[in-house]
Amino acid sequence: MKKFKTVLNSLAVFFLLSTPFYAQSPPEQQAIISVERIWDKAQHSAFTSLVYFNEQFFCAFREGSAHVPGINGTIRIITSEDGQNWRSVAHLSKKDIDLRDPMLSITPHNRLMLNCGGSHYEGKKLLGMQPLVSFSDQKGANFSQPAAINIDKNIRSGKDWLWRATWHKGLAYAAVYQAGQAKLQLVQSGDGKNYKYISTLNVPGFPNETTLRFSGNGELTALVRRDSQQPTGFLGSSAYPYKNWQWNELNIRLGGPDLLRFENGKMICGTRDYQPNSKRKMMLGKITRTGFFTKLLNLPSDGDCSYPGLLVVDDILYISYYSSHEEKTAIYFAQLRMDYINSWLQKDTTAPPKINSTTPGIIELSSNDSAAMIRYTLDGQMPDQDFGSIYNQPIRISKTTTLRAVAHQKGKLPSQVVSTEIGTDLFQNAVAGLKIPKPGLQFDYFEGLVTSSTHINKLDKIISGTCAQISVEKRLSDENFAFSFNGYIQISQDGLYTFYLRSNDGSIFYLNNMELIQNDGPHASIEKAAKTSLRKGFHKIKLDYFQMGGGKELSFQWQGPNFEKSPVPTTVFFH
């Protein structure tokens, strides 16, 4: 790398000799050499990819007016010899098409290949999706106009998204996800234009953005983002011909993930940090083959951000990403020391916490590492070394819930997260002294704009009445409305029951005056569930729901002793 390599070596020596700096800095500062904003000429720059080609860095990203369609997006490709001075080499566009998710790779014929998606919108309504490809000349100085990719007709849907291609032994491999379908298809191509079907990747939920990486022996690893009730990522592996896969669920949610796999089998991942307490959202960490993610650091970032590109050159890890934490959404370029990262990857892992309960409603946690700190959550979120309640006394619970706990001690990596259902031995009693109620539920219907189910009572009540089931059938408008359902549910026998609440937008379900399922806030269709043990008889229920605009949905189901998941029948609702 000529002069650039000399500069990097000098930087490495400087950081190695700066012992006082090490002693006073948090761990991430020990690894970070620099973070710079390298491009901000558009109103919104996002979704990056990074490669090193002909002794130059190439970074591709989308330029537009917002994260979702406003002005149709275009693709910008910039280059730099030293990682500091950048210039544009290409600006790609396509008439009436929103271009996004550009991904760079190097072909066997020593050209850059850029994959991107092309979406056709009418307003905000998606009419169609088409994967596109562009090729550079052998210098990377000129790029062809984006042309349509041909997906195998046996799996083609008309709304196909080929997110990232990876070359191996002269072939390009990619995963294609399809809007509105819970399918992820593995495909391959010899020319980067025509892809044939290999296998279906059976990841539950709604799998989408997928990064593929090969090992030296040809094993293929797939890192998959998904959107579902539990939107944690998945990690899979398969030997050639890549038809039989082994899958592990990750302990984190992914957003625009990239993955590096090293010769020793270690893997690092860049993705968005979804933990609510995290002030920096661009995250780097280690992933094991069993799907356990351990965070190393967060880079300066917030708001609309992430979608990194990862690259190692001359013992330096380079990361491109986008973020909106400084005035506008812009492109950033970070340099990190691989010697520090490698030493961190070799650290021992803290022993996982143990969960014990000898008295109903009282939970105790412990660890074989006596110096370990244990953090836990009771709301379904994933704890880590920085997030979650610190365990210092037995936990008291009053209902069935999911306990997740992690142990961490100085000088070691955090343990794996232990997760279990607790409180299934705690039964909620039926309402005592209740006169025989009438069939059906009471409901109140409201109109107006709110962004939380807890604000429904601030709206104008339009009508009240009774209904046979929980649904939105009695609405008088298709947007900006809300319902509050009240009554009792009849339980025919003692046992453990699971309730499922799916809604678009937000909803909350209360049982016996306690919040059981929180599915609140503006969002697309999401299902959440909770378990509880109930005694035979009538139990008080309340369900609040609001709808803003766009799609609308409200579904209430259950599962119990001797019956599988199904809609709650009208015969068990009373008021």
CATH of the domain at 494: 2.60.120.1560
Q: Are 533 and 419 found together in one domain? A: no
Query: Quick one: 465 and 386 in the same domain?
Result: no
347: closest CA among 308, 283, 282, 295?
295
Euclidean distance between CA atoms 190 and 167, whole angstroms: 9
CA 309 to chain centre: 16
pLDDT value at residue 2: 44
432 in any annotated domain = no
- Please tell me which residue, 47 or 275, carries the higher pLDDT value: 47
Query: In this structure, are 477 and 413 located in the same domain?
Result: no
pLDDT of 430 reads: 92
Q: Could you tell me the pLDDT band of residue 18, with boundaries at 50, 70 and 90?
A: very low
Higher pLDDT, 207 or 12: 207
How sure is the predictor about 27, in pLDDT bands with cuts at 50, 70 and 90? low
**Who wins on pLDDT, 277 or 7?**
277
CA distances from 423 to 376, 436, 506 (A): 15, 30, 26
Residues 496 and 558 in one domain: yes
Query: Between β-strands 553-560 and 563-567, what pairing exists: parallel, antiparallel or unpaired?
Result: antiparallel
Please indicate, yes or no, whether residues 507 and 554 belong to a single structural domain of this protein.
Answer: yes
**Amino acid identity, position 182:** A
pLDDT value of position 135: 98
Nearest to 546 by CA among 420, 421, 450: 450
Tens of pLDDT, residues 281-295:
999 999 999 998 988
Q: What share of the chain is helix, strand, coil (3-state, %, to 5)?
A: 5, 55, 40
Same domain, 415 and 451: no
Lowest mean pLDDT among 268-282, 322-336, 484-498, 541-555: 268-282
State CA 126 to chain mean position distance: 22
Residue 326 lies in a domain: no
Residue 374 inside a domain? The answer is: yes
What pLDDT shows up at residue 15? 38
Residue 128 lies in a domain: no
pLDDT(44) > 50: yes
Q: Are 387 and 406 in contact (CB under 8 A)?
A: no
Residues 358, 391 within the same domain: yes
20 pLDDT higher than 50: no
Same domain as 416, residue 538: no
- Per-residue pLDDT reduced to its tens digit, 193-251: 999 999 999 998 889 999 999 999 999 999 999 987 678 999 999 999 999 999 999 98
Is there a domain that residue 134 lies in?
no
- Cα separation of 355 and 406, whole Å? 11
Worst-scoring range by mean pLDDT, 396-405, 439-448, 552-561?
396-405
Which of 373, 393, 425 is the C-terminal boundary of a domain?
425
Confidence (pLDDT) at 227: 83
Cα dihedral: 250, 255, 260, 261 (round 10)? 20
Question: Residue 4 pLDDT > 90, yes or no?
Answer: no
Mean pLDDT for all residues in the chain: 89
CB atoms within 10 A of CB 3: 9
Report the C-alpha gap between 149 and 360 in whole angstroms.
59
d(CA 348, CA 72): 48
- Tokens at 520, concatenated: 């609140």
- 371 and 418 assigned to the same domain: yes
Q: Looking at the structure, do residues 467 and 520 belong to the same domain, yes or no?
A: yes
With beta carbons less than 8 A apart as the criterion, state whether 35 and 334 touch: yes
How many domains, the chain? 2
Reading the block at residue 192, the tokens are: 């980067």
**Residue 568 to residues 142, 197, 490, 491, Cα–Cα distance (Å):** 61, 41, 11, 11
Residue in the structure block whose two tokens are 């959107």: 227
**Residue 277 pLDDT exceeds 80:** no
Alpha-carbon gap, residue 439 to 575, rounded angstroms: 6
135 occurs within a structural domain? no
Helices and strands: H and E segment counts in the chain: 4, 44
3-state secondary structure of 312: strand
Tens of pLDDT along 49-103? 999 999 999 999 999 988 776 788 999 999 999 999 999 999 999 998 999 999 9
Q: Among 518, 512, 503, 507, which residue's Cα sits nearest to residue 532?
A: 512
Domain identity same for 568 and 494: yes
Instruction: Tell me, yes or no, whether 459 and 552 share the same domain.
Output: yes
Per the domain annotation, does 106 fall within a domain?
no
Beta bridge partners of 211: 223
pLDDT digit string, tens, across residues 337-389: 999 999 888 888 898 999 988 888 889 999 888 889 999 998 878 888 888 99
Check if the beta carbon of residue 331 is closer than 8 Å to that of residue 48: yes
Residue 386 included in any domain: yes
- Domain of residue 372 covers 354-425
CATH code for the domain of 381: 2.60.40
Residue 10 has pLDDT above 60, yes or no: no
